[in-house]
Amino acid sequence: DGKQGWFQTHKIPYQHPGIDEPAILGVAVDITERKQTEEILKENENKYRALVDLAVDGILLGSHDGIITDANESMCEIIGMSKGQFIGKHISILPFTEKTLMKNPLRFDLLQKGEVVLNEREFVHQDGYTVIVEMRSKMMPDGTYQSIFRDITKRKKAEKELKETNDRLKSIFRAAPTGIGVVKERVFIEVNPKICEMTGYRQEELVGQNARILYGNQEEYDFVGEEKYRQISKKGTGIVETRWRKKDGTIIDVLLASTPIDFNDLNEGITFIALDITKSKVGEEEIKSKNEELIKLNAEKDKFFSIIAHDLRNPFMGFLGFTEILKSDIHKLSLDELVEIADNMNKDAKNLFSLLTNLLDWSLSQRGLTVFNPDRLNLKEITELCIDHFRENANNKGISLSIDMQDNIFVTADKSMLNSIIRNLVSNAIKFTNKGDKIIITCKKAEGKMLFSVKDTGIGMSEDLQKGLFKIDNRTTREGTNEEPSTGLGLLLCKEFLEKNNGEIWVISSVGNGSEFIFSLPLA
């Protein structure tokens, strides 16, 4: 029928009766199906090997008695050893730390019972630093075992840093020289020691009590609540001057500055700052002057505590939620589910790190502690280095990120500040751009200046939203197209840093037509 097939043949010399010439007797067996099966097996084996070699996690194969038989390149990278140094040897040859082996000894007994063994271990890399891995092992039906090593060093470091940050925030809450508290439906949820000092009540006497306990009459209590929520609904913060009655009956004058934990749901609670201004009330004119000054100063404080109470708290809640899942259900989760949780935790950690970086930079700038070292800088080199950090984020969102600028444009600016400016603008562009959209970074010379542009084809913004940009007293936050958090603090940093470098920044945008942020700097 014209089809090709595989045959296995066997031939022997043969003398056929009646024929003088020697002949050959042959037997042919059709092995086409077997050959096709072998080809499929070979192809599958190649795919399996490619998958193992491409895996980011380290993969280790061994015999039933713990002798290592194979490993992928990622495993070599994690521990800093070549395959020749450990293949054919017992798994204990790997550079486990002594503490790890004492805390979690190798459990071949559990593997032989068919259990999946999961624990964290530490290695000492050949270069001397410590690597933390999540090790998952299982015995196969043929008696061999497979182990997957996931490098969680960065995650563990992030968890430690998040804990330290949380501890620092708690210490700020405790040590703040102003009264700080949280109320929900006007019931005290948290108060710091300064509130107790101001009112004469112990913490346990206030927490769980309605704020009415501090007011001399119902009328004043109602006024503060109505005025506070009226201001919050209008501009996001509420500043009210009132009078509190201390535990001993003494009346004190108090200035309250309040902001919601969740701007979309006031029922989630209100964070407030309380200042005892009794000594400041000497006369009506002095009161007026002091109030104006406090309102101005509290605009920045409100922004800071708003970020702590809302923008920083929410990512922490998400992160803690994932750790609770891991703590309670880690043995029930599949690898895909663990990968998804790890991805989400990594995303939250990156968002928190970005927010904390901007908070630190902003805090240093506000206190005049930012070091300013202007230098002659190659703009394209600086831009390319900054952009490299965002290509993965852009690719993950399906966004085209490109640079179109000359090689020989030099500006005079502080390198650290310029990096921060470009990072914030590109990060915002990615944040507010949809899949399939584009981000183009360009620059040109104009009248002795350099005009740098970050233009996207994203969701754009309204005129009202644009008016609130670059202002500390206007909250212009909104979520990105992938629900990324945003505080508006990055643009404030851009404006302050550009002013220090004799530059300016502005925006061109409309709803649905993308945004273009442009800043100028002096040419070198």
Average pLDDT rounded to a whole number, residues 460-475: 79
Half-sphere exposure of 395 (CA within 13 A, CB side): 6
∠ Cα 54 74 162 (to 5°): 110
d(CA 28, CA 10): 7
User: Comparing 69 with 325, which gets the higher pLDDT?
Assistant: 69
H/E element, 291:
helix 284-306
d(CA 427, CA 90): 48
Q: What is the mean pLDDT of the chain?
A: 84
Q: What digits encode the pLDDT tens for the residues 37-81?
A: 888 778 766 676 666 666 788 888 888 888 999 898 888 988 899
Q: What digits encode the pLDDT tens for the residues 373-384?
A: 888 999 999 899
What pLDDT is recorded for position 143? 84
Nearest to 148 by CA among 161, 137, 164, 162: 137
What pLDDT is recorded for position 316? 66
Q: pLDDT band for position 323 (50/70/90)?
A: confident
Residue 472 has pLDDT above 80, yes or no: no
Residue 345 has pLDDT above 90, yes or no: no
Considering only 87-91, 329-333, 415-419, which range has the smallest mean pLDDT? 329-333
What pLDDT is recorded for position 308? 55
Kindly report whether the global pTM for this prediction surpasses the value 0.75: no
Q: Are 179 and 191 in contact (CB under 8 A)?
A: yes
Average pLDDT rounded to a whole number, residues 364-380: 76
